[in-house]
Amino acid sequence: MDMSRGQDAALRARALKVIPNGMYGHESVRMLPDSFPQFFSKAEGAYIWDADGNRYLDYMCAYGPSLFGYRDARVDAAAQAQAALGDTLTGPSPLMVELAETLVDMVDHADWAMFCKNGTDATTMAMSSARAQTGKRIVLVAKGAYHGAAPWCTPIPAGTVAEDRAHVRTYAYNDVASLEAAVSDAGDDLAAIFASPFRHDAFIDQEAPEPAYASRARELCDKTGAMLVVDEVRAGFRLARGSSWSELGVQPDLSAWGKCFANGHPISALLGSDSCREGAGSIYATGSFWLSAVPMAAAIETLRIVRESDYLEHMVRLGGRLRSGLDAAAKKHGFTLRQTGPVQMPQIMFADDPDFRVGYGWAEEMLERGIYVHPWHNMFLCAAMTDADIDLTLNAADDAFAALAARRGDLAPHPILVALAAATAG
Ligand code: PMP
């Protein structure tokens, strides 16, 4: 496919003058193959268009927020109806109470809800609430897990000081002995244990939670009085229609939600049990846009569709087709994939590709064929995807693997990625 990228290049040149580095955070394509566009002009269903008008089937779904597809007509109608009445007001709209009731009904452990904007707001409030509830300081997080961009949890320490994370310590995900040792080291100062629903760290194979790890985390919290926090920001409502750990029989005290529960409208939430109601009620929590009514209307409609449709089973079925089809196509061309994580949130990397040069080459070849895949971050399916989209992907993959096999000897590692992987590993 001949894709022009002139507009994107011009925008990047302008951006470099008025935005530090032209872009920041993981949405900066400096860490992706050179051909990846930085700017997108529109989206519809499972597709995005870059600033040059090139169209891609989008396996990133805005890094998670697009659950039913972009501009879902049902969700956007609910949002627009509220927009005609008002959005950011002097206080919350009645929708806040309805949304809190809805989430408390849907999420087993939740007795209450507080709303904010980004996942980082919710995880940071979880940390503060746990400390306020327990009167203790130490917070345990799994090594390599992402919980947001605030000073206590950012993976890139520039601009922070050691004191910002003085009481944040790590354990190894799924490793009961390491968790027990970290809890024991914390003595009588443990405020919280954080866990993601599954191990979805960048650059590595994803791991399902071991039942013994999840239940031991609960037991250790019960024993010490610490709060168990599940960070559902990325995986929430993509694994289950409520708490992701309910199927393991483990209920947290707090859970942080964001990304997809308003199908792309900006809202996040901290949900909690009565065990942490007092602590959460005592912290100072607010933001100018946290109580805006439009995203709440979108969330209520999104959650109705979550309850009433087969969106999840549909994504799982398509994800299963994608995984087995990609395995077969890769094999045909002499590649072995490492496909991990739930099929609806796939991580796709290559065997024997320590510096990701093969993965980058493949992502580039897929992009040229109109499929946006990521070489080192988990991806997302959305319910707007169809069997025809999977067919399109598998056909493109067949071509992309063939082209990659032809270029294999010329592939080189991406310099910024190598530096970033070194900085965040270990
Ligand atoms: N927790 C997890 C597990 C996440 O994936 C993210 C975002 N990628 C966050 C927290 C932070 O969310 P946000 O970027 O909306 O602040």
Answer with the one of 279, 308, 337 that is the final residue of a domain: 308
The pLDDT, as a whole number, for residue 269 is: 98
The pLDDT, as a whole number, for residue 419 is: 75
Q: What is the mean pLDDT of residues 225-236?
A: 98
> What angle, 0 to 180 degrees and rounded to 10, lies between the N-to-C axes of helices 387-407 and 311-332?
30
The pLDDT, as a whole number, for residue 3 is: 86
Q: Which residue has tokens 């919710």?
A: 122
Q: What is the mean pLDDT of residues 17-25?
A: 96
Cα-trace Rg, the chain: 22
Q: Cα of 120 to ligand 1 centre, how many Å? A: 6
**151 and 26 in a common domain:** no
Share of the chain above pLDDT 70, in %: 98
**247 and 114 in a common domain:** yes
Pairing of strands 55-58, 47-50: antiparallel
The pLDDT, as a whole number, for residue 45 is: 98
Q: Cα of 232 to ligand 1 centre, how many Å? A: 9
Mean pLDDT of the chain: 96
The pLDDT, as a whole number, for residue 417 is: 73
Q: Cα of 200 to ligand 1 centre, how many Å? A: 11
Q: Cα of 25 to ligand 1 centre, how many Å? A: 11
The pLDDT, as a whole number, for residue 1 is: 62
Helix (H) or strand (E) holding 274: none
Whether residue 421 is predicted with pLDDT greater than 90 in this model: the reply is no
* Number of domains, the chain: 2
Answer with the one of 271, 289, 308 that is the final residue of a domain: 308
> What angle, 0 to 180 degrees and rounded to 10, lies between the N-to-C axes of helices 176-186 and 211-224?
10
Residues 242-292 have pLDDT tens digits of: 999 999 999 999 999 999 999 999 999 999 999 999 999 999 999 999 999
**213 and 157 in a common domain:** yes
**340 and 326 in a common domain:** yes
> What angle, 0 to 180 degrees and rounded to 10, lies between the N-to-C axes of helices 357-368 and 387-407?
130
Burial of 61 (0-12, 13-18, 19+ CB in 10 A): buried
Return the sign of the alpha-carbon dihedral for residues 141, 144, 148, 153. positive
Whether residue 145 is predicted with pLDDT greater than 50 in this model: the reply is yes
Asked whether 319 lines ligand 1 (CB < 6 A), one says no
**148 and 267 in a common domain:** yes
Residue nearest atom 10 of ligand 1, based on CA coordinates: 147
CA separation for the pair 398, 23 (Å, rounded) = 33
Residues 38-97 have pLDDT tens digits of: 999 999 999 999 999 999 999 999 999 999 999 999 999 999 999 999 999 999 999 999
Asked whether 133 lines ligand 1 (CB < 6 A), one says no
Whether residue 426 is predicted with pLDDT greater than 60 in this model: the reply is no
Index of the ligand 1 atom closest to the CA of residue 196: 3
Asked whether 238 lines ligand 1 (CB < 6 A), one says no
**18 and 59 in a common domain:** yes
Index of the ligand 1 atom closest to the CA of residue 25: 14
Residue 394 banded pLDDT, cuts 50, 70, 90: very high
More confident residue, 152 or 424: 152
- Do 252 and 229 form a contact (C-beta atoms < 8 A)? yes
Q: What is the mean pLDDT of residues 96-111?
A: 98
**118 and 234 in a common domain:** yes
**317 and 291 in a common domain:** no
**Does residue 204 lie within any of the structural domains?**
yes
Whether residue 380 is predicted with pLDDT greater than 70 in this model: the reply is yes
**316 and 301 in a common domain:** no
Whether residue 422 is predicted with pLDDT greater than 80 in this model: the reply is no
Q: Cα of 20 to ligand 1 centre, how many Å? A: 22
Regarding pTM above 0.75, the answer is: yes
Supply the CATH number for residue 254's domain: 3.40.640.10
Q: What is the mean pLDDT of residues 310-333?
A: 98
Residues 151-185 have pLDDT tens digits of: 999 999 999 999 999 999 999 999 999 999 999 99
Residue nearest atom 12 of ligand 1, based on CA coordinates: 119
Indicate the length of the chain as a whole number: 426
Asked whether 123 lines ligand 1 (CB < 6 A), one says yes
Supply the CATH number for residue 325's domain: 3.90.1150.10
- φ and ψ of 124, to 5 deg: -70, -40
Share of the chain above pLDDT 90, in %: 95
Asked whether 340 lines ligand 1 (CB < 6 A), one says no
Asked whether 378 lines ligand 1 (CB < 6 A), one says no
Asked whether 146 lines ligand 1 (CB < 6 A), one says yes
Index of the ligand 1 atom closest to the CA of residue 235: 3
Whether residue 420 is predicted with pLDDT greater than 90 in this model: the reply is no
The whole-angstrom distance between residue 47's C-alpha and the CA centroid of its chain comes to: 19
Answer with the one of 308, 323, 358 that is the final residue of a domain: 308
Index of the ligand 1 atom closest to the CA of residue 145: 3
Mutate to test the pocket of ligand 1, among 63, 123, 127, 153 (most ligand atoms within 8 A of CB): 123
Q: Cα of 149 to ligand 1 centre, how many Å? A: 8
The pLDDT, as a whole number, for residue 2 is: 72
Mutate to test the pocket of ligand 1, among 120, 200, 232, 289 (most ligand atoms within 8 A of CB): 120
Asked whether 119 lines ligand 1 (CB < 6 A), one says yes
Whether residue 230 is predicted with pLDDT greater than 50 in this model: the reply is yes
Q: What is the mean pLDDT of residues 395-410?
A: 96
E strands of 131-198, at which residues? 138-142, 168-171, 190-195
44: β partners:
47
Q: Cα of 61 to ligand 1 centre, how many Å? A: 14
Asked whether 141 lines ligand 1 (CB < 6 A), one says no
CA separation for the pair 28, 5 (Å, rounded) = 16
CA separation for the pair 60, 345 (Å, rounded) = 9
Q: What is the mean pLDDT of residues 12-40?
A: 95
- Do 116 and 125 form a contact (C-beta atoms < 8 A)? yes
**What is the residue range of 389's domain?**
6-63+310-425
Edge-to-edge strand ranges of the sheet holding 268-272: 112-116, 268-272, 254-257, 227-231, 190-195, 138-142, 168-171
**Does residue 68 lie within any of the structural domains?**
no
The pLDDT, as a whole number, for residue 425 is: 57
**Does residue 339 lie within any of the structural domains?**
yes
CA separation for the pair 134, 192 (Å, rounded) = 9
Residues 337-348 have pLDDT tens digits of: 999 999 999 999
